[in-house]
């Protein structure tokens, strides 16, 4: 029998066996506190599991439960009710939460910062605190705005209109409201029925089973991911020709925070891994729901199926790398890693470019990833002109972006805005994703196709402290609403590349001051 550990959680004294579990495992799997999220499985790198230990923020996934014996643990649920509500309203009013997966941990970090003496709320202090976190949706700026305006009255909103705009931009059914920022977006792994068997990938095409995540992880022999210092060549060669514009990209990880998860009861329908976000298209074909269905029927009990962070990197879809050459007349060739429907995506914005699909070893790719193929083609074509160009996406939304005094100005038209807070949030998030992609994101993949960057911090996502400010101007329109954040993604990528001097290979490095 393992010795017992005692500590308090949200004011309640609890006792658990000292069996080597992490604090996160105790909070999520034994106490059912679902606001503590697992985004890195566990690498201590995403901040989604942040709680307070004796009033100070700490990531719980790499904190052994035995280290907090006799101490006071506070989760989001343990904040004073009025404080918790105020944070939810501040994040919602600023558009600082989209899927809502990472925000409970961020709120705990900022609330801990707020608890320090003094009334000043400098943005720089919050940006520094966010170094322990990763947010992929919002682009950081709206989170910092929520920090600055915490406690202010929330504006009146048309929630149906806000939800409609979020669904247009996210591409899947979504929810908007203060509860989303508090982690209540209905994520699959938060709704698992009690007593479910846990299944984790064993890394060899099979599944390791356990009564708990810790037991299944031990059975799978999981070894934590790594980051390689090796820089390997770009995956594709440029097409031969005398080109006015050349653009080449590498493998890029979508880096969604909620790793794939599903569960199913025997004879039932599996839980949707999309929950409150579409993972930028990367989860649309997730294999986990069918795996959960099959295993539940096979074992005659509920089964909870999870991918670790390493699994999403090795097995989840990536942006297909490209190598593009375009002449001064706008004719050229797009070489792209073979991907179903990517040629159609490119032709939708650049019918004059020839597409050559290439077979190379590497992780799976998908044309469902945000703007895959057509964005690269549109950005390359825009480089033929020295001035900022308005880019129109296949959905009909349009955007123009330019650098001004160290920041980005973005003009967008997505038809009827419906809810400007949501629209602005998605545009700023798309701007962050584009800026980060052009300047710093890539995966190291060796010639045999093995991915070597398996930690969430090795993807190159730009942190809050390095993200330039983004000014969004929304053109008024009575036209039917359409997605326009994808056009922002393309326009900001084009503007960032232009500011960097159009180096042919991405990531291109920081934009010069």
Residue-level pLDDT at 117? 44
Higher local confidence (pLDDT), 332 or 115: 332
Q: What is the dihedral of CA 504, 510, 511, 513, to 10 degrees?
A: -140
Going by pLDDT thresholds of 50, 70 and 90, the confidence category of residue 512 is confident
Question: What is the DSSP annotation of 438-499?
Answer: HHH----B-TTS-B---SGGGG-PPPGGGPPPEEEEEPP--SPP---HHHHHHHHHHHHHHH
What's the whole-number mean pLDDT along residues 11-31? Answer: 93
Going by pLDDT thresholds of 50, 70 and 90, the confidence category of residue 41 is confident
Q: In the predicted model, is pLDDT for residue 490 greater than 90?
A: yes
Question: What is the DSSP annotation of 309-360?
Answer: HHHHHHHS-BBPPEEEEE-TTS-EEEEEE--TTHHHHHHTT-TTEEEEEE--
Which secondary structure element, helix H or strand E, spans residue 230, and what is its range?
A: none
| Backbone angle region of 509, left / alpha / beta, with phi > 0 → left and psi within -120 to 50 → alpha | left
For residue 279, give Cα distances in angstroms to 101, 320, 392: 11, 16, 22
Residue-level pLDDT at 115? 53
Residue-level pLDDT at 220? 86
Task: Assess contact for 46 and 40: CB atoms under 8 A.
Answer: yes
Higher local confidence (pLDDT), 115 or 324: 324
The tally of CA atoms less than 13 A away on the side-chain side of residue 195 is: 6
Phi/psi of residue 305, each to 5°?
Answer: -110, 130
pLDDT in tens, 288-305: 999 999 999 999 999 999
pLDDT in tens, 225-236: 566 667 778 999
What's the whole-number mean pLDDT along residues 58-75? Answer: 96
Residue-level pLDDT at 214? 83
Assigned token pair, 370? 């945000």
pLDDT > 90: what percent of the chain? 85
Single out the residue of 82, 174, 184 nearest to residue 419, CA to CA. Answer: 174
Mean pLDDT of the chain: 94
Class of domain 322-500: alpha beta
What's the whole-number mean pLDDT along residues 397-414? Answer: 96
Which secondary structure element, helix H or strand E, spans residue 58, and what is its range?
A: strand 56-59
What's the whole-number mean pLDDT along residues 37-55? Answer: 94
What is d(CA 250, CA 268) in angstroms, rounded to the nearest whole number?
41
pLDDT in tens, 447-486: 999 999 999 999 999 999 999 999 999 999 999 999 999 9
Going by pLDDT thresholds of 50, 70 and 90, the confidence category of residue 217 is confident
Question: What is the DSSP annotation of 124-173?
Answer: HHHHHHGGG---SSSTTHHHHHHHHTTTSPPPP--HHHHHHHHHHHHSS-
Residue-level pLDDT at 116? 52
Burial 63-95 (b: 16+ CB within 10 A, else e): bbbbebeeebbbbbbbbeeebbebbbbbbbbbb
Residue-level pLDDT at 120? 64
- CATH code reported for the domain at 81-186: 1.10.150.120
What's the whole-number mean pLDDT along residues 391-403? Answer: 97
Q: In the predicted model, is pLDDT for residue 25 greater than 60?
A: yes
Residue-level pLDDT at 229? 66
Q: Domain ranges for the chain, please list them.
A: 4-78, 81-186, 322-500
Label the pairing between strands 322-326 and 207-210: unpaired
Task: Assess contact for 491 and 438: CB atoms under 8 A.
Answer: no
pLDDT in tens, 96-142: 999 999 999 999 999 998 655 445 677 888 999 999 999 999 999 99
Residue-level pLDDT at 257? 94
Going by pLDDT thresholds of 50, 70 and 90, the confidence category of residue 489 is very high
Architecture of domain 4-78: Roll (3.10)
Higher local confidence (pLDDT), 51 or 220: 51
Phi/psi of residue 471, each to 5°?
Answer: -105, 125
What's the whole-number mean pLDDT along residues 390-418? Answer: 96
Residue-level pLDDT at 222? 64
Burial 346-376 (b: 16+ CB within 10 A, else e): bbebbeebebeeeeeebbebbbbbbbbbbbb
What is d(CA 162, CA 416) in angstroms, rounded to the nearest whole number?
12
pLDDT in tens, 162-176: 999 999 999 999 999
Residue-level pLDDT at 205? 82
What's the whole-number mean pLDDT along residues 385-414? Answer: 95
């Amino acid at each position: 029998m393992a010795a017992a550990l005692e500590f308090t959680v949200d004011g309640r004294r609890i006792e658990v066996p000292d069996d080597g579990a992490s604090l996160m495992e105790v909070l999520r799997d034994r106490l059912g506190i679902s606001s503590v999220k697992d985004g890195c499985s566990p690498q201590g790198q995403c901040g989604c599991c942040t709680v307070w230990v004796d009033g100070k923020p700490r990531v719980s996934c790499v904190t052994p439960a035995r280290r907090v014996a006799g101490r006071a643990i506070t989760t989001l649920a343990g904040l004073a009710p009025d404080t918790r509500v105020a944070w939810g309203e501040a994040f919602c009013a600023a558009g600082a939460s989209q899927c809502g997966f990472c925000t409970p941990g961020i709120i705990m970090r900022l609330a801990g910062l707020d608890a320090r003496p003094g009334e000043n709320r400098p943005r720089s202090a919050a940006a520094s605190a966010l170094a322990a976190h990763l947010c992929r949706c919002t682009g950081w700026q709206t989170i910092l705005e929520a920090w600055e305006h915490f406690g202010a009255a929330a504006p009146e909103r048309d929630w149906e209109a806000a939800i409609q705009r979020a669904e247009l931009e996210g591409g899947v059914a979504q929810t908007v409201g203060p509860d989303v920022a508090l982690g209540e977006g209905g994520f699959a792994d938060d709704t698992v029925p009690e007593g479910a068997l846990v299944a984790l990938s064993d890394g060899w095409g099979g599944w390791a089973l356990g009564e708990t995540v810790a037991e299944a992880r031990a059975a799978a022999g999981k070894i934590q991911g790594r980051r390689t210092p090796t820089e390997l060549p770009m995956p594709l060669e440029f097409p031969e020709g005398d080109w006015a514009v050349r653009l080449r990209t590498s493998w890029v990880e979508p880096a969604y925070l909620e790793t794939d998860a599903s569960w199913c009861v025997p004879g039932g329908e599996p839980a949707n891994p999309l929950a409150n976000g579409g993972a930028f298209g990367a989860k649309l074909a997730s294999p986990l729901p069918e795996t959960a269905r099959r295993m539940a029927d096979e074992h005659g009990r509920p089964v909870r199926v999870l991918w670790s962070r390493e699994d999403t990197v090795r097995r989840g879809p990536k942006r297909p790398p490209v190598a593009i050459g375009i002449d001064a007349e706008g004719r050229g060739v797009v070489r792209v890693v073979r991907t179903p429907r990517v040629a159609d995506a490119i032709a939708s914005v650049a019918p004059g470019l020839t597409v050559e699909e290439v077979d190379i070893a590497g992780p799976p790719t998908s044309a469902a990833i945000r703007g895959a193929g057509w964005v690269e083609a549109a950005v390359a074509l825009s480089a033929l002109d020295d001035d900022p160009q308005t880019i129109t996406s296949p959905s009909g939304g349009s955007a123009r972006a330019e650098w001004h005094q160290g920041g980005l100005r973005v003009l967008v038209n997505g038809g009827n805005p419906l809810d400007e807070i949501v629209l602005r949030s998605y545009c700023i998030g798309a701007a962050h994703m584009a800026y980060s992609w052009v300047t710093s994101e890539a995966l190291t993949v060796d010639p045999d196709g093995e991915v070597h960057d398996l930690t969430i911090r090795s993807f190159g996502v730009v942190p809050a402290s390095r993200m330039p400010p983004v000014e969004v101007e929304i053109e008024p329109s009575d036209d039917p609403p359409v997605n326009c954040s994808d056009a922002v993604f393309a326009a900001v990528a084009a503007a960032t590349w232009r500011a960097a001097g159009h180096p042919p290979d991405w990531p291109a490095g920081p934009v010069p001051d």
